[in-house]
Structure 1
Amino acid sequence: MNDISDFNPARLVLARQRRGWTKKSLADATMLSSKTISLYENGDQLPTDESLACIAQALGFPIPFFSGCYVEAPTEENASFRSFSRMTAGQRDAALAAGGIAYMLSDWIDSKYHLPVPSIPDCSGMDPEAAADAVRAEWGLGQLPIKNLVHLLELKGVRVFSLAEETNQVNAFSCWRKGTTPFVFLNTQKSAEASRFDAAHELGHLVLHRHGSNKGKAVESEANAFASAFLMPYQSILAHGWSVNSVKDVVRAKKLWNVSAMALAYRLHKTGVLSEWVYRSICIELSTIGARTQEPEPSQRETSQVLQKVLGLARDAGCSLTGIAKELDVAVDDLIPILFRMAPVAISGDYATSPVSAPKRKPNLRLVKA
């Protein structure tokens, strides 16, 4: 029998939301009533051993997961979602619950390895273009193109994870955990260029909207403007954009800044390099060749340096991803989505295999500056 005396209702809520289920959906899958599920989630009633086993099987979470300590997750209030208005409540809650699992993995990493301390400038109230210049100046980037934005964010203490949701309505989101640790979640099923712009967009939220609202058309526009200026600095655009006058030129030039053709055309127009007529003509031709849905001459996808190093060190110590899942009391299939296309994962061993104990001293992860 299972000890349910330390049953944690919050973990049941997170597990249900991660699967995108309503209380009625879970009730139907377990032959329980919606009222009973509500009593469990509100902490007004402990589930029986049999009920908990049915719930765990239906949701695909190990039984010990429901008896762990308090589980934290991003909330609707502190998370900045792109395409927020087009998401359903279920999609939003599933993404936030994925963030909760990422928090658990992040805590596991922090308990074993030393990661860079967050160093994110506070540019609240600043014009987005000025804020982008300020961040570049503080980080010593000058006007140079950023080779790998994910590596740069990790170097500055941002925890970057994947958000492999099977929907285009959830692009990306970011949040400050307890006001001190920044997290960015990227939909890595999008193109490499789009995901990179999403990362810059979410950085915009982190530096511009840390103390205020991070929702609405106005703040989304500010984050977009920041991302455009951060990835394609004004002086750099003026220096290299003068020779861009056609779609062929745009496709060639976009590789310098590692952005999408559409994003570069827009930036060239906003900075006055392209006239209204030339800009419209380029956009029409880009649309004609399908550049809005499939990037011409795509870039290589950016990956996480931190997650690759951590998983590599863990494997060297004999702890596979399955072993990490065991320590966290989650299914390995719930770790894969937050690592998808961010780090290669090799699943080996059995879930029941005992995890390797943590090293006595935390290794320092040295990140290469982007």
Structure 2
Amino acid sequence: MDRRNSPQSPQAVVDAFDQGRLTQARQLAGMTKKDLAERIGVTPAAVGQYETGMSRPRPDLVPRLADALGVPPAFFLLGRPHGRLDGSISHFGSPRSTRAYQRAKAAAFVEQVWELAHALERQVRLPHVVLPGLSGDEVHSGVEPPGDPAQAARALRRLWGLGTGPLPHIVRHMEAHGIVVVLLPPDEDSVTVDAFSTSRLPRPIVVLTANRCDDVHRYRFTAAHELGHLVLHGDTASGDVRQEREADVFAAEFLTPRDSILPELPVRLDLRRLVELKRTWGVPVDSLLYRCREVGLISDSAASRAHQRLKTLRDQPGFAAEPISGHPDEQPVLLHRAFELAVSQTGLTMELLATQLAWPVSRVRELLDDRRPALRPVP
């Protein structure tokens, strides 16, 4: 066979070049067009033309592109499912501090998470998505979410059968109802990003980041905040401060239903009592202070003084942060468990999955976080 036209030869890649894959790989690498152009010896305008489809790279540039972006040459081939996502419509937990290139990188990451989930779903049946108002390829409740965030939180608790008491874990409930939750591998671009989520792909995805993993209570509130975005803001553009406030209200009500938490709140400011409630309900003391102020138990000035006092107590017993490493039920497991089941049922290997995705094996291993909702082989 002529090696120039073999399935993954540079010429074959050029003949079936997918410009969207080039954009995805560049954004994942956190590179500008200028950065990539300098790496492969062309102009930024040329890279722009490759990404818009106005022209294709020469065959001799394919290995350089692959090397610069850390992907196999087959990554650029047409034909694989591509979950295209616009970063402007993903919800970010710290929208003001998230720059455009970080949004693009995060969107490309979510695309790959969906592609991995899609590849696994060919062999393993993941839980159905159960969210009010969500439609698409998944079974859904058909129930429209209430417009009020607190009402929406209560409605979701009822839909998921969670009652009105403390939730021992939240990530497990999200995964059990079809939401893919993943941890973003830490790097310099994720430092200012708390979390992000999208329901614009066939399966909703929530990404939690390293700067929330040091405190399980803030981490749980962040997960509930992103769940609020999925329920309340799936069809709207992100970046609205009002949306962030609504997601906070949703998270507070979802984790600490007002009618349940109100009788337990101290009638006067008592940080030690709030620490006890933090342990029971699994929420930050800051959130409980907000609850106290919201229901009129403490004044705005008292809440402000309490927040200042909290800063001086962060290293004290009861107030110190607890990393999620000590809380395995809050660590995402859905994709890893799906892979394990596929291995046992079909003989899938990490290498075969990487070949199907046209990713480096290291990338598959990175996204298949090693932890442990009900899965069944596809008949």
Q: How many Å apart are 1:34 and its aligned residue? A: 1.5
Q: 2:195 touches 2:222 (CA, 8 Å); kept in 1? A: yes
How has the CA–CA distance of structure 1 residues 230 and 318 changed in structure 2, closer, same or farther, with 3 Å as cutoff?
A: same
Q: How many Å apart are 1:315 and its aligned residue? A: 4.4
3-state SS in 2 of match to 1:173: strand
Aligned twin of 1:238: 262
Q: 2:126 touches 2:376 (CA, 8 Å); kept in 1? A: no
Aligned twin of 2:106: 95
Indicate whether 1:321 and 2:335 are aligned: no
How has the CA–CA distance of structure 1 residues 33 and 102 changed in structure 2, closer, same or farther, with 3 Å as cutoff?
A: same
CA–CA separation in structure 2 for the residues paired with 1:211 and 1:104: 21
How has the CA–CA distance of structure 1 residues 227 and 135 changed in structure 2, closer, same or farther, with 3 Å as cutoff?
A: same
CA–CA separation in structure 2 for the residues paired with 1:56 and 1:226: 43
Aligned twin of 1:330: 359
Aligned twin of 2:138: none
Q: 1:247 touches 1:285 (CA, 8 Å); kept in 2? A: no
How has the CA–CA distance of structure 1 residues 213 and 42 changed in structure 2, closer, same or farther, with 3 Å as cutoff?
A: closer
Aligned twin of 2:70: 60
Q: How many Å apart are 1:124 and its aligned residue? A: 5.0
Q: Deviations over 1:24-49 (max 9, x none)?
A: 10011111222221221121222222
Aligned twin of 2:197: 174
CA–CA separation in structure 2 for the residues paired with 1:271 and 1:35: 58
3-state SS in 2 of match to 1:181: coil
CA–CA separation in structure 2 for the residues paired with 1:243 and 1:252: 15
Query: Structure 2, unaligned stretches of length 5 or more?
Result: 134-143
- Equivalent residue for 1:227, pick from 237, 240, 251: 251
Q: Deviations over 1:75-119 (max 9, x none)?
A: 124311121121121111111111111111011121111112111
Aligned residue runs from structure 1 range 157-172, under 5 A: 157-166=178-187, 167-172=190-195
Q: Deviations over 1:28-72 (max 9, x none)?
A: 111122222122112122222220100100110111111132522
Indicate whether 1:113 and 2:113 are aligned: no
The more displaced of 329-338 and 222-231 is 329-338
The more displaced of 302-311 and 240-249 is 240-249
Amino acid at match of 1:133: R
Query: Structure 1, unaligned stretches of length 5 or more?
Result: 346-360, 366-370
Q: 1:174 touches 1:185 (CA, 8 Å); kept in 2? A: yes
Q: How many Å apart are 1:223 and its aligned residue? A: 0.7
Q: How many Å apart are 1:318 and its aligned residue? A: 4.8
3-state SS in 1 of match to 2:86: coil
3-state SS in 1 of match to 2:30: coil
- Equivalent residue for 1:186, pick from 201, 208, 213: 208
TM-score (ref. length: structure 2): 0.83
Q: How many Å apart are 1:329 and its aligned residue? A: 0.8
Q: How many Å apart are 1:189 and its aligned residue? A: 4.0
Amino acid at match of 1:255: R
Q: What is the aligned residue count?
A: 346
CA–CA separation in structure 1 for the residues paired with 2:34 and 2:169: 44
3-state SS in 2 of match to 1:161: strand
Indicate whether 1:27 and 2:37 are aligned: yes
How has the CA–CA distance of structure 1 residues 137 and 274 changed in structure 2, closer, same or farther, with 3 Å as cutoff?
A: farther
The more displaced of 34-43 and 268-277 is 268-277
How has the CA–CA distance of structure 1 residues 343 and 259 changed in structure 2, closer, same or farther, with 3 Å as cutoff?
A: farther
- Equivalent residue for 2:331, pick from 303, 314, 319: 303
CA–CA separation in structure 1 for the residues paired with 2:147 and 2:118: 33
Amino acid at match of 1:92: R
CA–CA separation in structure 2 for the residues paired with 1:108 and 1:91: 26
How has the CA–CA distance of structure 1 residues 196 and 7 changed in structure 2, closer, same or farther, with 3 Å as cutoff?
A: same
3-state SS in 2 of match to 1:185: strand
TM-score (ref. length: structure 1): 0.85
How has the CA–CA distance of structure 1 residues 295 and 108 changed in structure 2, closer, same or farther, with 3 Å as cutoff?
A: farther
Aligned twin of 2:115: 104
CA–CA separation in structure 2 for the residues paired with 1:265 and 1:75: 36
CA–CA separation in structure 2 for the residues paired with 1:118 and 1:40: 37
